[in-house]
Amino acid sequence: MTAAAGSPAIEQIKQTVQENDVVLFMKGTKNFPQCGFSSRVAQILNFMEVEFADVNVLEDDALRQGVKDFTQWPTIPQLYVKGEFVGGCDIITEMTLNGELDQVLEEKAVSFNKAAVEKIREQNA
């Protein structure tokens, strides 16, 4: 089952991504993640003090499928920065460790705690 372009779920995703600088489509919420992968990305963003909207895809099957169709990306979580799909858990983890996430956030003028991300890298070196 795929969500058709123009479907309510796809329109909701487009609107959410346009209205928020940083959006994490995840299983659960940033305060109560309901899967390890969603938890990891939320923890990274929270630790880096990135302001982000969290969208719980478990609350709506059409939304859950719609976000996968929207990006042609099969897994959740999915991170968007200023309307652009950045990646899922493995990609965000790798980007955090190699400094690419910092670059994306800086290029898009999204504030984050540089000292915190350095700490993440030190702990994972």
Mean of the pLDDT values across residues 64-89? 95
Q: Is 93 helix (H, G, I), strand (E, B) or coil?
A: helix
The model's pLDDT over 19-53, given as tens digits with 9 standing for 90+, comes to 999 999 999 999 999 999 999 999 999 999 999 99
30 half-sphere exposure, CB direction, 13 A CA radius:
20
What domains are there in the chain, each with its CATH number? 8-123 (3.40.30.10)
Inter-residue contact 25 to 78 (CB < 8 Å): yes
Question: Which pLDDT score, from 0 to 100, does residue 64 have?
Answer: 94
Strand ranges for the chain from DSSP E: 22-26, 53-56, 78-81, 84-87
Largest CA distance in the chain: 45
pTM: 0.93
> Secondary structure of the chain: what % helix, strand, coil (to 5)?
55, 15, 30
